Amino acid sequence: MIPSKTLFITFVAQELLVDESLIDFTTPFRHIRTWSSLNALVLIARINEEFDVMISSTDLAGLVTLEELFEFISTKKNGNS
């Protein structure tokens, strides 16, 4: 199931160990202070676990903001590749 946008921000904040107040949908996720290649792999794995959506490192590299990531997951979850 795809969470609401608010719950998605909570999910990302928890996974990247940042305060929710520091991020929103316009945030480029690579600018989050805890972002690293290791955290990128962890986030990819957690997206698969939580939302049953496979996202590759190439897919992630093509996205910039948390909104783009949310929309990518939503599109994949709804069966539109």
Whether pLDDT at 3 is above 90: no
Give the C-alpha separation, 43 to 70, whole Å. Answer: 12
Say what the pLDDT of residue 63 is. Answer: 98
Domain limits at 35? 5-77
Reported as a pLDDT band with limits 50, 70 and 90, residue 79 is: confident
Say what the pLDDT of residue 1 is. Answer: 67
pLDDT tens-digit readout, 11-45: 999 999 999 999 999 999 999 999 999 999 999 99
CATH number for the domain harbouring residue 13: 1.10.1200.10
Say what the pLDDT of residue 54 is. Answer: 95
The tally of domains found in the chain comes to: 1
- 19, with CB counted inside 10 A (0-12, 13-18, 19+), is exposed
Whether pLDDT at 72 is above 80: yes
